[in-house]
Amino acid sequence: MAIILLKTTTPAALIAEIDTGTLWGVSLGTTTKRSTYSDYVLIDCTETRSEKLSEAVPDSVDMDFLQAAPDSFTEAGLIEKAWFLRGKL
Amino acid sequence: MGFDSPKFVDSTGEEAGGGAGGGGGPPGPSAKAVEWVDLPLDPTDSVWTVLGASPTKTAALVNGNLEVDLSAPANYKIRSSTNNGLNLVTTLPVMPWSNHSGGVPAGTAAHTIQPESSLLKVRVEFDSAHGPTNGTLADAYGFNMMCVAGFTSYPTDQAGSPTVGGAGVEWRGAMVRKFKGDQPSISSVVNVYKAGIRTYHTDWIEKGDYLWSNQQGAGPTAHDSIVYMSAMVLRQGDTVTARSQTTGGSYCSTDPFGPMNAPVYGFTDGATVMSNTSGSVNSNYFHIWIGFGSTANFAGGTFKVTKISYSIQPLASRIPV
């Protein structure tokens, strides 16, 4: 699975669009997940879908980060572990 | 009793100045200072192996600059194991110890990068009027085209015939890409170009916070270069997960210590293993690599490079080498 970090001035609208199952014309299937905080939206999806989304992203949205195979929790450093658990508070 | 003037230690570790009659003033240039090493801009030079060239993907020395022409819109994508771009790869691997007075340390192969003691930098400087990539109205001035500058690496000696693309040919570098279709010369939007890092495993991690030299309103500190750098004391030994901290992005080559457009303070992923001599990951033999391509399946544009430089400096580490 890939993760994509998006920055947008309208995160609520972006979340609503993701929740329709299609984003920028790309079908998100049933396994795609998303979360949001502040101006950022995270999408967790297959690598194939992440590549399609990177092709389709409008320039009104900043795709700041796209990693095809992010580290597992075990592989992550202590700071990433701390932020992951902070996000679960 | 205080100091009668500031004291300092020069780059050789000796105290200098500070005393009456001691000469004062800052130290002069050190004989141990490391300079950038410029690589030839002529793609036909034997230093380079050019990969991916075709009648519509060309590289040539024009008026002293390296010009890469990918103006015919097509799929020039460079991503993970896909490499449809035009690439300049040094024909031979880097030998970090070749110029070091101490020679190759005992127990280390001549080609091995020991991250703890090796500062790695690769820089590409672009023509100030053309910018990092550009084009015509038809291709939205190089929209979605990019340049990556860094290293490609292999588990074994490539014997003068490096390759790009394919599963497991690890690569990492600083990246600049055209993020918007604006005509740069009449656009002062700071994210017309974005810069950051791109690796085999990470499609991009990037920011667009600075004007480039070819944009409307660009001043003397506008960005004109991308730079990749890496150095770290290893947390792990010679293993497949011994990642080094790296960063990459853009800066202005004539603005010393000016801000860098870098998306992170430091970055690691599976491509930042800078030394794994077991060959179980492809991080053993490193070649300097400059890739010209696209982030999209259909794009076109051109590049004008005025300088390609590197610095691979082994430093005396825990013990003198």
Interface of A with B in 50-89 (CB under 8 A): 50-51, 54-55, 59, 62-69, 71, 75, 77
Structure confidence by residue, pLDDT tens digits, B54-89: 999 999 999 999 999 999 999 999 999 999 999 999
Please report the ipTM that was assigned to this predicted complex. 0.86
The residue in chain A having the minimum alpha-carbon distance to the alpha carbon of residue B195 is A64
CA dist A29 and A57 (Å) reads 17
pTM: 0.90
Among B80, B181, B207, the residue with its CB nearest the CB of A68 is B80
Strand partners, B289: B89, B150
Give just the sign of the alpha carbon dihedral A69, A73, A78, A81.
positive
Find, in chain B, the residue whose alpha carbon is nearest to that of A7: B207
Lowest-pLDDT range of A23-27, A74-78, B100-104: B100-104
pLDDT-derived band at B107 (thresholds 50, 70, 90) equals: confident
The predicted structure's pLDDT at residue B8: 54
Please report, for residues A24, B127, B191, the alpha-carbon distance to residue B250 in angstroms, rounded to integers and kept in the order given: 29, 14, 12
Residues of chain A neighbouring B180 (CB-CB closer than 8 A): 59
pLDDT of residue B268: 86
Between residues 185 and 204 of chain B, which touch chain A (CB distance below 8 Å)? 191, 201-204
Smallest Cβ–Cβ distance between B204 and the set A59, A66, A75 belongs to: A66
What is the reported pLDDT for B6?
44
What's the average model confidence in pLDDT over B194-219? Answer: 95
A51-74: average pLDDT: 91
Instruction: Domains for chain B: give ranges and CATH numbers.
Output: 35-314 (2.60.120.200)
Q: Read off the pLDDT of residues B171-206 as tens digits, 9 standing for 90 and up.
A: 999 999 999 999 999 999 999 999 999 999 999 899
Pick from A59, A68, A71: which is nearest to B203 by CB? Answer: A68
* Distance (Å, whole) CA B87 – CA B80: 15
Nearest beta carbon to residue B269 from set A63, A64, A67:
A67
Q: Which domain holds residue A74?
A: 2-86
**pLDDT digits 0-9 by tens, B261-320:** 998 888 888 888 888 776 667 788 999 999 999 999 999 999 999 999 999 888 766 766
Asked whether the beta carbons of B105 and B97 are under 8 A apart, the reply is yes
Confidence at residue B5, expressed as pLDDT on a 0 to 100 scale: 45
Query: CATH number of the domain that A11 lies in?
Result: 3.30.70
Task: Express each pLDDT in B2-55 by its tens digit.
Answer: 444 445 555 555 554 433 333 444 445 445 667 899 999 999 999 999 999 999
Which runs of consecutive H residues, i.e. helices, occur in A20-77?
47-56
Work out how many domains chain A is built from and give that number.
1
Are B295 and A51 in contact (CB < 8 Å)? Answer: no
Q: Which amino acid does the sequence have at B181?
A: G
Counted across chains A and B, CB pairs separated by less than 8 A come out at 41
Q: How many CB atoms lie within 10 A of CB B62?
A: 11
